[in-house]
């Protein structure tokens, strides 16, 4: 584990923060680090910018993210990584489809390779890292298209050669249930599961025996479609199975 100092901590909205830290990391878009600060647990975070100095962008959910959001410029935090594979290098027209904090992961790709970003949130106040050309969907219609990011994106699916997706598992499952599986585009998805070790040892992130941390986090659409547990159930911190709502396959 290494330590680093915070160079900038930017409040993006009411509960999302971007933290720039004083390190040089050889990372590729799609990779993540395990972060820790005294008072919290060790948790995985995508790099939202893989240039140096790098950034992470996170929503304050529980004790660890709240602890890190309270740090100040100059404070230290600890990390190890980068871990996981990365998104492949795209050619042709590129789209990114992101829900919630999934935007952090695809943001690193967008900064490096450009392309059209489709982003979904519950409401306008949940949006972050926005740029003028982003295509926005909100559940309540308070910004952009009223509906889900899947509804916004799918009519455009045939315009692209590469599609990169990151978001909550039920969102990704809905997309896979509705997408034409014979489309010309190559589709890659970054998965998020509970992670403890981050390096393929503890099995807490497994889906059908595939370790999201080590074998992914980025998988092709065909690989994800072959995982019968995906979008159906996950394991909580105690290892107990929890079903997703409407998680039938
Ligand atoms: C590869 C990967 C990349 C991620 N990147 C980002 C990111 O860029 N931005 C962001 O806001 N969030 C990201 N997350 C989710 C983030 O790790 C959780 O929000 C965080 O662990 C919550 O910790 P907490 O102590 O603040 O909250 P807690 O109260 O402990 O947990 C809140 C919720 O976060 C999830 N969670 C808790 N612990 C973990 C864990 N060890 N691994 C995965 N999920 C967990 C659970 O769904 C839980 O219900 C990522 C997760 C993974 C697996
Ligand atoms: S987090 Fe331990 S095997 Fe993936």
Q: What span, in angstroms and rounded, lies between the C-alpha atoms of 110 and 29?
A: 9
Q: Does the structure show a pLDDT above 60 at 48?
A: yes
Q: Does the structure show a pLDDT above 60 at 249?
A: no
Query: Do 69 and 175 belong to one domain?
Result: no
Residue finishing a domain among 83, 109, 127: 83
Instruction: State the distance from the centre of ligand 1 to the C-alpha of 167, rounded, in angstroms.
Output: 12
Query: Do 57 and 151 belong to one domain?
Result: no
Instruction: State the distance from the centre of ligand 2 to the C-alpha of 194, rounded, in angstroms.
Output: 8
Counting ligands in written order, the one closest to the CA of 193 is: 1
Query: Do 115 and 53 belong to one domain?
Result: no
Q: What span, in angstroms and rounded, lies between the C-alpha atoms of 193 and 172?
A: 13
Instruction: State the distance from the centre of ligand 2 to the C-alpha of 60, rounded, in angstroms.
Output: 22
Query: Do 126 and 71 belong to one domain?
Result: no
Q: What span, in angstroms and rounded, lies between the C-alpha atoms of 163 and 93?
A: 9
Residue 171 domain flag? yes
Identify which of 91, 44, 92, 85 has the alpha carbon closest to the alpha carbon of residue 64. 44
Counting ligands in written order, the one closest to the CA of 198 is: 2
pLDDT value at residue 39: 84
Query: Do 98 and 156 belong to one domain?
Result: yes
Query: Do 67 and 188 belong to one domain?
Result: no
The predicted model scores a pTM of: 0.95
Q: Residue 124 belongs to a domain with what CATH number?
A: 3.40.50.80
pLDDT in tens, 131-154: 989 999 999 999 999 999 999 999
Q: Residue 41 belongs to a domain with what CATH number?
A: 2.40.30.10
Residue finishing a domain among 83, 112, 127: 83
**71 to each of 20, 50, 231, how far by Cα in Å?**
12, 21, 35
Residue 200 domain flag? yes
Across 175-204, average pLDDT:
94
Residue 88 domain flag? no
pLDDT value at residue 245: 74
Share of the chain above pLDDT 70, in %: 98
Q: What span, in angstroms and rounded, lies between the C-alpha atoms of 205 and 136?
A: 30
Residue finishing a domain among 41, 64, 83: 83
Domain carrying residue 57: 2-83
Query: Do 188 and 239 belong to one domain?
Result: yes
- Residue position matching structure tokens 């901590």: 9
Query: Do 151 and 196 belong to one domain?
Result: yes
Domains identified in the chain, total number: 2
């Amino acid at each position: 584990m290494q330590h680093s100092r915070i160079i900038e901590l930017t409040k993006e909205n009411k509960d999302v923060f971007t933290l720039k830290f004083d390190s040089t990391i050889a990372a590729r878009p799609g990779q993540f680090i395990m972060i820790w600060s005294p008072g919290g647990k060790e948790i995985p975070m995508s790099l939202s910018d893989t240039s140096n100095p790098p950034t992470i962008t996170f929503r304050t959910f529980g004790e660890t993210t709240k602890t890190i959001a309270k740090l100040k410029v100059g404070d230290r935090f600890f990390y190890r990584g980068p871990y996981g594979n990365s998104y492949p290098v795209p050619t042709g027209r590129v789209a990114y489809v992101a829900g919630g904090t999934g935007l952090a992961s695809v943001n690193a790709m967008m900064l490096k390779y450009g392309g059209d970003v489709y982003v979904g949130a519950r409401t306008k106040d949940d949006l972050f890292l926005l740029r003028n050309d982003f295509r926005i969907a909100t559940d309540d219609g308070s910004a952009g298209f009223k509906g889900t990011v899947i509804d916004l994106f799918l009519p455009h699916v045939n315009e692209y050669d590469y599609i990169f997706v990151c978001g909550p598992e039920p969102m990704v499952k809905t997309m896979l249930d509705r997408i034409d599986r014979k489309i010309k585009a190559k589709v890659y998805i970054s998965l998020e599961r509970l992670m403890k070790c981050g390096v393929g040892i503890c099995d807490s992130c497994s889906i059908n025996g595939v370790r999201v941390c080590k074998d992914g986090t980025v998988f092709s659409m065909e690989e994800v479609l072959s995982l019968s547990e995906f979008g159906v159930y996950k394991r909580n911190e105690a290892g107990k199975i929890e079903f997703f709502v409407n998680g039938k396959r």
